[in-house]
Amino acid sequence: MKNRVCSLVFAGILLILGGLHVILPDKTLSYTERRSLARFPKVTFSSVMDGVFMQNMEKYLPDQFPAREEFRSVKSLFERLSGRLDVNDIYDADGYLASVEFGYSESAVKKSAEKLNRIRELFDGCEEAVLCVIPPKNYYMHDGVHPVPDVQGLTEILAEHTEGYGFCAIEDTLSLESYYRTDSHWRQETLDETARAICSSLGVHYVTEEFTEHRMEDFYGVYAGQSALPVKPDVLVYRSSPSVESASVTAVGSEMTSVYTPDRIGMDFYDVFLGGAVPVIEIVNESGTGDLIVVRDSFGSSLIPLLIPSFHRIMAVDLRYISSEYLERYVNDDGAALLVLLSAGILNNSEMLKIQ
């Protein structure tokens, strides 16, 4: 009787889930994983004969499995309760999630240094150039188990193999609370001292204005989706000021016309800052003085708005999305200051930077 009951229950589960798989409509996106989900593949004679159809079905079936997100959460929660420290390569320390880091490659950082030297050559009209390394969140997470990234060691390699840069160390202006609990990025509302330190390294007075804070509730960062653990969401805050609100914005590869784009957010709330992945953005503040070129990644998206009151023109360049050979079309470096503001993760993966 026990075997019969188990068999019936098992068969019932298969029938119910199989039936739901057929009845329920397919989903197009996974907001937790921030990717498109596989759709039912087109059936053709050639795709069946050469095996492509079955390969695509193997992607489609798990992506469209009924209650897929709930099952992912149950699996991750079970792994956590069973004593695993890392779930899907994500770990928790003091309520903050981070990805497991395995250190930096000296050869990779040296390749980044070569590309940074190329950037300095491209912007040879800039008299002042500053390099700022953004530490990852787990630099501030000391759980006694996972390694702490050697940001100082990475910076020393860059200092030894780059020319024409001053360095701005910002580690002491940040803390674990400067980062979102569920995401890799830092929180804009905590970056005043960081922005001040960067301006000081550029020899520029940091202009402060009265900011108005705008809140976006229920922000689930990238680590929340990757871990699939049940976590409390963050609150994303973006800050506007008179200079920020009146600034004119021109973008290459995007139709954005303002510093913040809350009406154009997709799967990631963080895209409210400078429209997300945009190759080149020009921001003009008529009340400011001096020009600044910022070579940045996604971290720079939330810090650059704080610099707007201190400059007349800011050119934000993301070399992950545009090749350096096209920069002369969009960026004028005459008399501008240069700030290379990149995260340690990018500098450890120089192939992400499209620098010729």
Among 46-55, 218-227, 305-314, which range has the highest average pLDDT?
305-314
Last residue in a domain, options 66, 83, 118: 66
Supply the mean pLDDT for the chain: 89
Domain-located, residue 73: no
Domain-located, residue 241: yes
Task: Tell me what the mean pLDDT of segment 203-227 comes to.
Answer: 92
Q: For 21-47, how does the pLDDT look when each residue is reduced to its tens digit (9 = 90+)?
A: 778 788 877 766 667 788 888 888 888
Task: Give the pLDDT of residue 143.
Answer: 85
**Are 106 and 57 in the same domain?**
no
Last residue in a domain, options 27, 47, 66: 66
**Are 35 and 169 in the same domain?**
no
**Are 35 and 138 in the same domain?**
no
**Are 21 and 128 in the same domain?**
no
Report the range of poorest mean pLDDT among 5-14, 135-144, 259-268: 259-268
**Total count of domains within the chain:** 2
Task: Give the pLDDT of residue 205.
Answer: 94
**Are 189 and 136 in the same domain?**
yes
3-state secondary structure labels for all residues of the chain: CHHHHHHHHHHHHHHHHHHHHHHCCCCCEECCCCEECCCCCCCCHHHHHCCHHHHHHHHHHHHCCCCHHHHHHHHHHHHHHCCCCEECCEEEECCEEEECCCCCCHHHHHHHHHHHHHHHHHCCCCCCEEEEEECCHHHHCCCCCCCCCCHHHHHHHHHHHCCCCEECCCHHHCCHHHECCCCCCECHHHCHHHHHHHHHHCCCCCCCCCCEEEEEEEECCHHHHHHCCCCCCEEEEEEECHHHHHCEEEEECCCCCCCECHHHCCCCHHHHECCCCCCEEEEECCCCCCEEEEEECHHHHHHHHHHHHHCCEEEEECCCCCCHHHHHHCCCCCCCEEEEEEEHHHHCCHHHCCCC
Q: For 236-289, how does the pLDDT look when each residue is reduced to its tens digit (9 = 90+)?
A: 999 999 999 999 999 998 888 999 999 877 778 999 999 988 999 999 999 999
**Are 30 and 133 in the same domain?**
no
Q: What percent of the chain is modeled with pLDDT above 70?
A: 98
Give yes or no for residue 148 having a pLDDT over 70: yes
Residue that wins the pLDDT comparison between 20 and 31: 20
Domain-located, residue 79: no
Give yes or no for residue 76 having a pLDDT over 90: no
Task: Give the pLDDT of residue 34.
Answer: 67
**Are 56 and 100 in the same domain?**
no
**Are 124 and 43 in the same domain?**
no
Task: Tell me what the mean pLDDT of segment 62-78 comes to.
Answer: 75
Residue 37: domain span = 2-66
Domain-located, residue 83: no
**Are 103 and 15 in the same domain?**
no
Report the range of poorest mean pLDDT among 66-70, 249-253, 348-352: 66-70
